[in-house]
Chains A and B, each alone.
Chain A
Amino acid sequence: MGLISNGTTLLDAGSLSVSAGAMTLLSTVTASSGDSTITFASSINSTYKEYIFKFIDVHLSANARLLVNFRDGSTDYDATKTTTFFEAYHYESDSSLSVGYVTDYDLAQSTGAHTLAYIGNGNDEASSGTLHLYDPASTTFVKNFMSVASCYHGSDLALQAHSGGYCNVTAAIDGVQFSANTGTIDAGVFKMYGVS
């Protein structure tokens, strides 16, 4: 294939390769008031070895936590997981700050949802972040994931939430679902990318 411009041949020798980029948007879901879950139930397969989910300005109906869970072959989002969670926070008042592990929000072989972020429900309070899911189609290995989120906590503090873990199953993961531990997802955009 060749390349010409306004009739002038610029390249015409052999093949011409055009890169399609390394990160491809697969799906976008926008939350509307009262969504109990945001679900990605298709396009998670062996096409990509890594999937990136971006959640942008997620606003919950209550002072609550944003959660994620994974589907491992059935219709339920209940893959067994072992996870870690640590955070750094700093109050707007400068009255308190810390970095540390949070034992309340890790999981040990649990089928329950995993915490990604704490979010206040004030009008301007929201969270944005990223979740990486690696090789979900593997039927050999557990499925690793990790996340980082910036959160506007209801107590007026900036919170940086880090978590990681694995779905301790050899079945493929073919669905990802976001939810809140209480109340609903009132607003926010969730995007899924494949990384080639």
Chain B
Amino acid sequence: MAVVSNGTTIADAGSFSVGLGDMVHIKTLTASSSANLSFVHGTSSVVLDSTYPVYLFSWINCHPATNNVTFKAGFRDGGTNYDATVTSNSFNATADEAGTDAGLNYQNGRDLAQGTGGQDLTAFNGNQNDSATSGQMYLFDPSSTTYVKHFIITSQQMNPEAPFTTNSYHSGYCNVTAAIDGVQFSMSSGNIDSGTIKLYGIKDS
């Protein structure tokens, strides 16, 4: 590819590379009645290794097929299963639409103590037409074979039962020194009916 200006060729030799900044889009997966959405290093153009020191997953309007389910993420640490051991913490801020109830609370049960079942991202997701969850997760240095692998999650959803808004915060670590080379998103029951999940790399240099 080349560049010309007003008909004058400025460059026309081989490939042409344009830097798009230091937050690099790697992959977008779109749910369509999907049991899960998986980002696996080396598969379908996904990069999840030492190429970037920090990765950002961003999910946008993920809508479950089943009412009252939990949106989760599992981490793959060398095998084919998304079952890396995780210790994490969780708290959220909530407020109902009526303006009568609000609070900040630790979420016992949304955290993990050396658990392998995947990290909760948002709970009590409704399958009503206007209900969906959005949020983001930073995963730090997944290829490290020295340290545990830290993640920080912020998510937002409408809980349709009250209804109320829930702003959730989770962080923790995959308590393994094996590299993390895959992340899988799913609902605790039923499919992800719709929604988009994007993976970005934050450039190292």
Contact = CB atoms under 8 A, between A and B. Distances in A.
Interface of A: 1-7, 9, 12, 16, 18-25, 28, 54, 56-57, 59, 88-94, 97-99, 123-130, 148-150, 152, 156-160, 162, 189, 191, 193
Interface string B174-202: 01010000000000000000000000001
Given A16-B3, A20-B21, A97-B111, 19 more contacts: A2-B5, A4-B4, A12-B4, A12-B7, A24-B21, A25-B22, A56-B54, A57-B140, A91-B87, A94-B113, A99-B91, A124-B177, A126-B150, A128-B138, A130-B138, A152-B147, A158-B87, A158-B88, A160-B170
Interface string B133-147: 000001011001011
B117 interface: no
Contact of A158 (B1, B138, B173): B173
A19 B1 CA distance: 17
Top 10 A-B pairs, shortest CB-CB distance: A21-B21, A94-B113, A128-B140, A160-B171, A150-B171, A150-B150, A99-B91, A90-B89, A128-B150, A99-B106
A21 B22 contact: yes
B1 A93 contact: no
A153 to B, nearest CB: 10
Contacts of B125: none
A189 B172 contact: no
A159 B113 CA distance: 12
B204 A28 contact: yes
A136 B90 CA distance: 32
A148 B140 contact: no
